[in-house]
Amino acid sequence: MKINDNKYYYTYEDIHNFIRNNYQQISNNIDCIVAIGTGGFIPARILKTYLNIPIYTITVQSYNNNNETNMKLFQWLDMDLSNKKIVIVDEVDDTRNTLQFCVSQLKEINKLINYEIFVIHNKIKEKKWDIPKEIKYHCCETIQNKWIVYPWDNK
């Protein structure tokens, strides 16, 4: 990782190493990965190498409305998750709006009950949602509130 212009720059190897060193925190009775797109796609694919379970994807769009961040579904899953245990994967937990929205929609639309959360980075800042205490939250690295440039962001 390098710091430049007050931003953190990570390489593909950094991300792969984070996942290799942390995937064992995830419970071993997970049925499938649900990747939040688009940032969670590459981490989820790397995680699949270790967990060897199917990946499903969901994508949301966020937009600003009168200084408030709102979210809507862009692509979703047509699947009953009431009997599945999933791990929800995203690259970064920033304000936590995305995780909150995705969990609430997975509960409402897909009847999700059992889930864990896996992120590469958790930024130290005030969050919009407190993850329930009984939910396992796995994070590879907790970092200061600076912008992260992931390798897939590079042109």
Footprint on this chain of ligand 5GP (rule: CB under 6 A): 39, 90, 92-98, 147-148, 150, 153
**Beta carbon nearer to ligand 5GP, 28 or 130:** 130
Smallest gap, in angstroms, from Cβ of residue 20 to ligand 5GP?
21
- DSSP symbols for 31-72: -EEEEEETTTHHHHHHHHHHH---EEEEEEEEEEETTEEEEE
Closest contact distance (angstroms) between CB of 79 and ligand 5GP is 22
Q: How many CB atoms lie within 10 A of CB 49?
A: 11
Out of 93, 94, 130, 153, the active site residue is 94
**Smallest separation, CB 104 to ligand 5GP (Å):** 13
Give the nearer residue to ligand 5GP in terms of CB position, either 14 or 93: 93
Please confirm, yes or no, whether 94 is among the known catalytic residues: yes
User: N- to C-terminal Cα distance for the chain?
Assistant: 18
Q: Which is nearer to ligand 5GP, 39 or 81 (CB)?
A: 39
Report the distance separating Cα 62 and Cα 75, nearest Å.
13
Q: Count of residues for the chain?
A: 155
- Structure token pair of residue 54: 């199917």
The residues assigned a catalytic role are 94
